[in-house]
Structure 1
């Protein structure tokens, strides 16, 4: 597929997916959904990809849905927004959560609405110091989607999640880091290099093990303590049978750097 709304490249084990509608603050339209879906499929099936990095071009990371791409004519039949969520946003969030590799998001500017919640669906989020996060749905009478009502309370607690969703206040990157919404806030000029360096570093690590870590932590939010202990046992069984575990132990015993293959 020739991309018009995103950029996608694979180098050094890292797939970099860049949202590229800067004139529309990288908001999603039908075409962008299709292209992102295709890029994620490529990342999933490529044996060369061991980490995914998502970012945006221009002054915004993603403003969520491009409202001009929907029928909001007051004289027309009311749109079924649930269909759009079921077709586009829910599969996107599920794909990011299920991808068997680390997923880094580098938030280069405003992340609003679904754009904020797409970022929160990634495994590690870095943000430029000038970036911000807005649950903008309430401004137009909508409900946070793209996993926002599930992820946000778990990141910041019930009271903050409720206020952020009902007031639609803008949260700075520094505040987001202080509240535990993101991993790290960095200077604007350092964001791209730091995110790419992290992605390349993760791409050299035991990918299967990192995927099992991802699965364990995701599952912990719904499991009881006893269920989580059982899951840790089962996942450790799988991890202990990987080639990377054998290489890691050998490198430790031989006092050398490990050469992980992601297998």
Structure 2
């Protein structure tokens, strides 16, 4: 791995055009949220990194908010205990969802609450067969945050999303795949390699097209059809001017594999 940087609670490593952002603690403390927000902002910019992996360590991907820290905040001042949503959660989710390159969540273990929100903000999810999932919010007398109220319903449908949020029951990696939350499930021992292989494939792909596709999928949800068609046409016209598109067309005609440079 090249260009590795490790903070107290988040590490960032780079292998070629793939950056891997690893949560070194299971729960989201203020320090972890701050380091994660800043790390994602760094890897989201520039052309050198063309795909990102978000993962955890040990038995947890992310178990959501650190409740001991949250309890301290409630005791200090309940009116300001949730300022972290605007300061940390919303910027993290927005960066994951909107960065102009694909993001893969490699769910290595327990993924609940805001952790599930982070995973759903990524473009693709690959899970260890031992991973456990859950929404958890209503068990604490709270509603959703981290975009979960939108992303979960898009992934599993409104009816199942209501059941998962209101009942707060945990579910398995196999169920996550069956319901559309995880794209694939692999043996836990092979998760890192499978995620790296998937990210490398994306990093070698048409980065500008991926960015446009991410934007189209996000903007089309609930939008009027004429607006969807207009935005699709505008994006296609922009991509038609790229070297990646022209090269791919020529490669198709020559019956060869295209080589994408992200430009």
TM-score bracket, shorter-length normalisation: over 0.9
Residue 24 of structure 2 is aligned to residue 4 of structure 1: no
Structure 1's consecutive aligned runs of 4 or more residues displaced over 6 angstroms after TM superposition are: none
Q: Trace 1:1-263 onto structure 2 (pairs within 5 A).
A: 3-21=7-25, 26-72=26-72, 76-263=76-263
CA distance in 1, matches of 2:15, 2:48: 8
2:181 aligns to what SS in structure 1?
coil
Alignment CA distance shift 1:76-1:9 (3 Å): closer
Number of residues of Structure 1 aligned to a counterpart in Structure 2: 259
2:162 aligns to what SS in structure 1?
helix
Alignment CA distance shift 1:154-1:2 (3 Å): closer
Alignment CA distance shift 1:232-1:175 (3 Å): same
Alignment CA distance shift 1:164-1:103 (3 Å): same
2:78 aligns to what SS in structure 1?
coil
Alignment CA distance shift 1:202-1:75 (3 Å): closer
Offset at residue 35 of structure 1 (A): 1.2
Alignment CA distance shift 1:169-1:75 (3 Å): closer
Contact 1:247-1:258 within 8 A present in 2 as well: yes
1:53 aligns to what SS in structure 2?
strand
CA distance in 1, matches of 2:113, 2:75: 26
CA distance in 1, matches of 2:74, 2:194: 46
Deviates more, 1:65-74 or 1:116-125: 65-74
2:83 aligns to what SS in structure 1?
helix
CA distance in 1, matches of 2:210, 2:130: 30
Pairwise CA RMSD: 1.6
1:27 aligns to what SS in structure 2?
coil
CA distance in 1, matches of 2:31, 2:158: 35
Contact 1:111-1:134 within 8 A present in 2 as well: yes
Alignment CA distance shift 1:257-1:68 (3 Å): same
